[in-house]
Structure 1
Amino acid sequence: MTVVTAVIDNQLRYARTDAEVSSLILAALAEQHDWATLFYVWDRPCRESDDGSLHEYPGNQLRLDADPDSGWGALNYVNTADDSEPPGVWNSLNPAPPLDAPTIWFDPGTPTAFPASAVLPIDAIHDAVAEFCRTGRRPACLQWQGARWS
């Protein structure tokens, strides 16, 4: 059985059914968060211990941040272990980025923003996250650009 793990506001949340996955995606996109949301798809729940002795995650991750009030967001995909696709790091790509797009944060704590070319309408972000949750792979429903490892 596949388990989707989302780290929303630094809390692990799990989904096993389509309805639960839809709820996780909605939770990530419907309101502003202080931290980027991370999604993982694996054969078991991701987990970690408070003392750092346990840290179990798969080798690929989808990171998103969105500004629901403006209707924009951005994605970052990392693959370090899935042999079915090449390893690497990618950001979403908007071939015609909006001139007035808001700043979408890759990591608000540093602060590091996504490039403007990564900013997409929130509906496209939703569709890509839903695809990732079904496949566990970099979503093919949108274009990607190389990104640096941050």
Structure 2
Amino acid sequence: MTPLDVYYFSGGNRADEPVTVDDDIALDDVMTDILANPQPHPTVVYAKDRPTIGPAELPDHQLKFDLDAEHHIAAVHVFGPKDFLPADMTGEANDTTAWIALPRQTDTRVPAGVTLYIDKGTRTEFPAEAALPLNMLRSLLHEFMRTGKRPTCVDWQRTDIF
């Protein structure tokens, strides 16, 4: 298991300190907390065991998601270097690349009036076809914790949005 740092809003935590999870139960507990608390910005997740870059030692990757608990949908954006991809998919990236998760098969639709954001500050929206059911988000996060790599349980579409 790869411990994950999860930045999200809950009570006094204004997403400035991560909650670290290192097992399935802890991750499920964090998801329950995220669903129970309004998230003014997308939740950001980093795999602690991955490399850092630059003098500030920032993670070399990022996974973030926005969700709508009432409608049971979410959308996921990731970026990372070539070694962030599973070994059999490294041909999909030359350097750092960004992707949006797409469901393989689903009836999930974004209801009228609901918008999921990659970045709420800039009002950058996820495409409507990126809506995932919450159980798919859960599976994706559990896979990310197991591997520390871009999950394979969904399809991915490249994006220029970092």
> Of residues 128, 135, 144 in structure 2, which corresponds to 1:132?
144
By how many angstroms is 1:81 displaced? 6.0
The alignment partner of 1:134 has SS state of helix
The alignment partner of 2:83 has SS state of coil
Give 4+ residue runs of structure 1 displaced > 6 Å after superposition: none
Check conservation: 1:74, 1:120, Cα contact below 8 A: yes
By how many angstroms is 1:30 displaced? 4.3
Matches within 5 A, 1:33-48: 33-43=39-49
Counterpart residue identity of residue 152, structure 2: A
Over the residues paired in the alignment, what is the CA RMSD in angstroms? 2.6
Taking structure 2 as the reference length, the TM-score comes to: 0.74
Structure with the higher helix share, 1 or 2: 2
Using the aligned pairs only, state the percent identity: 29
CA change 1:99–1:61 in 2 (3 A) is closer
Aligned residues: 142
Q: Structure 1: 5+ residue runs without aligned partners?
A: 47-53
CA change 1:81–1:24 in 2 (3 A) is farther
Matches within 5 A, 1:90-129: 90-94=99-103, 98=109, 100=111, 102-129=114-141
Partner of 1:4: 4
The alignment partner of 2:59 has SS state of coil
By how many angstroms is 1:100 displaced? 3.0
Q: Say if 2:30 is the partner of 1:24.
A: yes
Find the aligned partners of 2:109 and 2:118 in 1 and give their Cα distance: 18
Check conservation: 1:59, 1:81, Cα contact below 8 A: no
Indicate the larger mover: 130-139 or 78-87: 78-87
Deviations 1:68-92 (A, max 9, x none): 0111110011013636543411001
Partner of 1:60: 61
Deviations 1:18-61 (A, max 9, x none): 322222233334443001111111238x9xxxxxxx84333121
Counterpart residue identity of residue 131, structure 1: E
Taking structure 1 as the reference length, the TM-score comes to: 0.79
Check conservation: 1:40, 1:57, Cα contact below 8 A: no
Find the aligned partners of 2:121 and 2:135 in 1 and give their Cα distance: 26
